[in-house]
Structure 1
Amino acid sequence: MSLGDDHQSSGGYGGTGQTRTRLPDGGGDGYGGPRRTGRSSSRSLVTVVGVVVLLIAAIAFANRGGDDSATSDDTAEDKPKTSATAPSGKEPVRSGFAHDEQGAQSAAANYAVALGSAEMFDKSKRDPILKAIIVPSRVAGFVATLDKAYNPGFNTNVGLNEDGSTPKGYTFVSRTSPIGTKLTEGSADKATVEVWCSGLLGLAGQNSTAPVTNSWFTITMSLEWVSGDWKIVTHSQKDGPTPIPGDDKASSADEMAKAVQEYGGLSYAR
């Protein structure tokens, strides 16, 4: 069905249509890893840049199925593979959403996961992601903006080496998890979707100067139906809604690094 087929009397869809976040059965080695307590300034910076066209000081989210910092130790018989969610080894589906309001929300949720992944810190992986999910006419602009944003200074600010590589002995964490989505406005070929997210960002390991922290934020994406799929036109972000922190005891650096290595990120957000 086409967007707006069930809403002709109102001239489109929008308002308060809300959906739940769910995880489909399908999977692949995903790249699924904006934030803000603790290192809130670094977090917000990281999240926004991943998608904002005009924002220059922003950036990234979530991690891929297996962390890039995996080493040869991953092959040990007593240690799980880092691609825990991708036993088939197949590439995750990054496009091909339904031409309706639910498809628009699914696209927005999954694009948040992709743009928040650790892959965004690697230009050779970042550019293909942008080409797959941004409207063709804006890809060049996004690429240029992010090339400037992911600079040596930013990399060191989040705990990485100046070239974006992970320091020896550490595990870099960047993951975004959509909590829910809301369609705020739309028509047959355009939609604006808000995605409420929780994110992780930091460097796991002993004596880390940028430990992994958690944050909450809401991403707003303007999408357009182009060449048979939803693509991002513009993106913005704001902090919260943020729940009251629980009484959970923070895990050790080693526990956090092990969790990231053993639990693969999700390809699908809903």
Structure 2
Amino acid sequence: MTTYAPQPARPSGTRPRRLWLIIAAIVVATLVGGASGWLIGSASSGSANSASTPTAPAPAGGLGAPHGPKVIRNGVPSGYTHDQAGAANAAVNAVQVQTAVAHGNADGAETASTWIAASADAHARAALSAATGAPGDDQTSKTPVTTRVTSFAGSATTVEVWIVAVGSSAGIGGGVTTSQTWSTQTYTLNWEKDDWKVVSFRTKNGPQPGDGQSSTGSSVPPLTNGLYTVFIN
């Protein structure tokens, strides 16, 4: 007769405890794996989206504005589209070029060759070629506010630019005084050498903000949405 030695008794609660440890390990492994998969999936998805999303090409020229200017060379902007929006942008920048030339912030020779039309009058030639700014505290800054193209014939156009000018000058007895004026400059531009050139411009006072009409009877031009100006310094 075969006899078996009695097996030692297992400590109470060992099997349930081991079972729970195994279950806990499985749960932790599942959670860690799921989290890793989510992270990897998110990164892969982001990489895939980045790879599938086309990158816009860099604009041609230095600025790449839709209607110009394309470049600024020696403080002088140039390169406008042959349409009304390009003509309006050119007129806006012509205002700023005059101020830049006057204060020596733009090269006069570069401005003359870039902006002056073959048929330009003497006033336009002088304003767009020579520095005339006063030294010291006497300074003027002009900011175009809105534009209006009053005529467009393809090779010639007329653009009105409503402008606010802020000036500062040495005050009597010391200090600096400031002033603000509103005016309208009307530009005649010709399309020459694949760009807009200034033939002439004239300036009149007003209208003032809040006035329906200026003293000269000129109505306020409608505001141009999305008007961009170029800072030249």
Q: Which amino acid aligns with 1:135?
A: A
Cα distance in 2 for partners of 1:207, 1:132 equals: 42
* 8 Å contact kept, 1:179–1:197: yes
Matched length: 147
Aligned with 1:100 (options 83, 87, 90) = 83
CA contact (8 A) 1:185 1:192 kept: yes
Give 1:116's match in structure 2, choosing from 57, 78, 99.
Answer: 99
What SS does structure 1 have at the residue aligned with 2:77? coil
| Residue 238 of structure 1: how far off its partner (Å) | 0.8
> 1:183-262 maps to which residues of 2 (within 5 A)?
183-203=149-169, 207-208=173-174, 211-243=177-209
SS in 1 for 2:145: strand
Q: How does 1:1-270 map to 2 (within 5 A)?
A: 26=63, 91-92=74-75, 94-117=77-100, 119-122=101-104, 125-138=107-120, 142-143=124-125, 150=132, 160=134, 165-166=135-136, 171-203=137-169, 207-208=173-174, 211-243=177-209, 267=230
1:183 partner amino acid: V
Cα root mean square deviation, aligned: 3.9
**Cα deviation code 1:198-252 (max 9, x no counterpart):** 011223689557722111000000000000000011111111111259xxxxxxx
| Structure 2 unaligned blocks of 5 or more | 1-61, 65-71, 212-228
CA distance in 2, matches of 1:145, 1:115: 6
CA distance in 2, matches of 1:174, 1:94: 20
Report SS of the residue matched to 1:97: coil
Q: How far 1:130 sits from its partner (Å)?
A: 3.1
1:35 aligned partner: none
Cα 1:206–1:91 shift into 2, 3 Å: farther
Q: What are structure 1's unaligned runs of at least 5 residues? A: 1-24, 28-88, 246-265
Amino acid paired to 2:197: K
Please report how far the alpha carbon of residue 189 of structure 1 lies from its aligned counterpart in structure 2 after TM superposition. 0.9
User: Could you tell me whether the CA contact under 8 Å between 1:130 and 1:139 is conserved in 2?
Assistant: no
Letter in structure 2 aligned against 1:133: W
1:242–1:132 distance in 2 versus 1, CA, 3 Å: same
Identity rate of aligned residues, in percent? 27
Higher relative contact order (CA 8 A, sep 6+): 1
User: Measured at CA, do residues 232 and 146 of structure 1 come closer, stay the same or move farther in structure 2, by a change above 3 Å?
Assistant: closer
Structure 2: how far apart are the matches of 1:114 and 1:149? Answer: 11
Instruction: Tell me whether 204-213 or 91-100 shows the greater mean CA deviation.
Output: 204-213
For 1:267, give the aligned amino acid: V
- Over 3 Å counting, the alpha-carbon distance change for 1:90 and 1:229 in structure 2 is closer
TM-score, L = length of structure 2: 0.51
1:173, CA displacement in angstroms?
2.4
Secondary structure in structure 1 of the residue aligned to 2:230: coil
Pair 1:177–1:146, CA change in 2 (3 A)? closer
